[in-house]
Amino acid sequence: MKTALIIGETGAIGGAVATHLRAEGVEVTGLARASDGLDITDGGSVAAAMQGLGPFDFVLVATGALETRGAGPEKALREIDAGALAAQFALNAIGPALVLRHAAQLLPREGRSVLAVLTARVGSIGDNRLGGWYSYRAAKAAANQIVRTAAVELGRTHREAVVVALHPGTVRSALTERYLGRHPAVSPEVAAGHLLSVVNGLDITDTGGFFDWRGERVPW
């Protein structure tokens, strides 16, 4: 890997991945709202940020949040709010889709490349046994479908591109501190190492897949 684009570099995971790659001599381009004014939910903002970029060996979409508009995950159906649901979709599903609109430009036509979107295991329909978290689960499930569909299309023109959804595990950050305790959590730096190990082990047979931080497939 020689070049990488990290969308959401100022976030905990995105920043840790960027730091890890730079330490290995990879030329990293980072984009984020805080540093570049990128609004991933706005198509015009994304298009402006993507102008002239690419191709990259590795693209990571590391944006997202458990809470939007101050609303936490729902515990029951009666807590569903239309505005909070729409905000979750805007950030966690539409945002990655707007980046993927530019994937053909961001990835090389020839040679191996990887485009990964951070989603979450709770977006798995088959793995849902606890219920709750309606908006977040649904938005991440939508992101998974977008990634899967993009992999099919890009496979026609970028035959060595690997397009995947990744579950980073539970990572300690300002965004997750209210929800830690039920599952073991790791630092962003450890999570970055896990994710890059998975990315480096992917091949073309994995494109369109959904993998956790151990490299194991997650059911849709």
Give the pLDDT confidence of 49-68 residue by residue, as tens digits.
999 999 999 999 999 988 88
Range of the domain at 86: 3-212
* Structural domains of the chain, count: 1
Does 180 or 145 have the greater pLDDT score? 145
Report pLDDT for 173.
72
217 in a structural domain: no
70 in a structural domain: yes
Percentage of the chain with pLDDT > 70?
Answer: 95
* Backbone φ and ψ of 211, nearest 5°: -125, 150
126 in a structural domain: yes
Residue 214: band (very low, low, confident or very high) from pLDDT cuts 50, 70, 90: very high
Residue with tokens 């609004």: 39
Predicted TM-score of the model (pTM): 0.94
220 in a structural domain: no
181 in a structural domain: yes
Separation CA 61–CA 117 (nearest Å): 5
Question: CATH number, domain at 144?
Answer: 3.40.50.720
Sheet of 210-212, strands arranged across? 27-31, 3-7, 58-61, 113-118, 161-167, 210-212
In 3-state terms, what secondary structure has residue 100?
Answer: helix
219 in a structural domain: no
Give yes or no for a contact between 72 and 123, defined as CB atoms under 8 angstroms apart. no
Residue 12: band (very low, low, confident or very high) from pLDDT cuts 50, 70, 90: very high
